[in-house]
Structure 1
């Protein structure tokens, strides 16, 4: 089984690209979705114990949590020490299920793949990218996002140029959905050795 790592900086189009892999018949483990679920479940009391007041009705208030950890490296490390092992355990279970099922290719969608040293967990790496002005426009259009918050998030991420240099495949999402989907289908065909991706067209 080939494990494909999908990553990219904030606003680069990773989530949309992940959906294209699903449409091409490739199982995807979404780290962001897993975090969202954990924030409403078993991670919530652990986070509340470290950051009192950031939960409501048993779920993490992401805005309140962001206020605690952004621009606070020590607090961010504490949060990561709580959440990363939980996400890793779910990803490992996903890989085991698919390996047992004989799945030829799977995707681990990991936003901080390089930042967390996750290269060793995957066989190939796909980086999604876009020009800096496109990235900024996309991110600032998100509800609750500010220029300051965007810069704080980007400062924690490996530079886009370095990610592209370390990737096996690069998908420029600024070229449009059709081009991105064609790139995804090409990658799937190469890695699976067949025409599985044709069914998504």
Structure 2
């Protein structure tokens, strides 16, 4: 089973491109969605034990947790030590379900794929990219987003140009939707052809 990583900086269109892969029958696992689910389930008692007072009846209170970890590298490492293994377990369970269902290719959406050194876990990495002005307009249109928040998020992510350089495949989402979809179709054809040759 071919394992593809999907990544890209904030506002680049990962969700849109991920849905295009799914439309081709490629199962998708979203690491961010896994974290959100864990914040309402398995991670709650572990986070409460490490950061008392940061959870409630609905799970982890992200605002309270943020006060404990934002700008505090050591605290962030302690949080990551709780979350990363749980997310990895979910990813492995996803692989097993996909394999049992007979999938020949899966896609894992990881926003900080290169930043966390996860590229070695994949057969190929797809990077979603768009011009900076398009990215900025998309992100600042989000509810509650400010220039300061946007810049803080960008500061944690390696530059788009570096991601494009590291990628096996790049999808440009600064184009009309149909052209983006055509790029995904072409990438899927290339991947299937490439891995068919390596397995012969």
TM-score by length of 1: 0.88
**Residue 12 (structure 2) pairs with residue 29 (structure 1):** no
> What is aligned with 1:137?
137
> What is aligned with 1:197?
none
Distance 2:70 2:82 in 1: 16
Distance 1:62 1:12 in 2: 24
Shift of 1:136: 2.0
CA deviations over 1:7-43 (Å, ceiling 9, x no partner): 0111111111111111111001111111111111111
> What is aligned with 1:153?
153
Shift of 1:153: 1.7
Q: Secondary structure at the match of 1:102?
A: coil
> What is aligned with 2:7?
7
RMSD, aligned α-carbons: 1.7
Distance 1:133 1:71 in 2: 28
> What is aligned with 2:89?
89
Spell out structure 1 runs of 4+ moving beyond 3 A. Answer: none
Shift of 1:191: 2.5
Shift in alpha-carbon separation, 1:180–1:67, aligned structure 2, 3 A: farther
Distance 1:106 1:122 in 2: 10
Q: Secondary structure at the match of 1:33?
A: helix
> What is aligned with 2:198?
none
Q: Secondary structure at the match of 1:175?
A: coil
Shift of 1:93: 1.4
Distance 1:50 1:138 in 2: 35
Distance 2:137 2:93 in 1: 36
Shift of 1:4: 0.7
Distance 2:17 2:63 in 1: 26
TM-score by length of 2: 0.89
Q: Which moved more, 1:59-68 or 1:117-126?
A: 59-68
Q: Counterparts in 2 of 1:1-201, with a 5 A limit?
A: 1-193=1-193
Distance 1:37 1:57 in 2: 14
Q: Secondary structure at the match of 2:183?
A: helix
Q: Structure 2: any 5+ residue segments left out of the alignment?
A: 194-200
CA deviations over 1:132-184 (Å, ceiling 9, x no partner): 22222222222222222222221111111111001011111111321221111
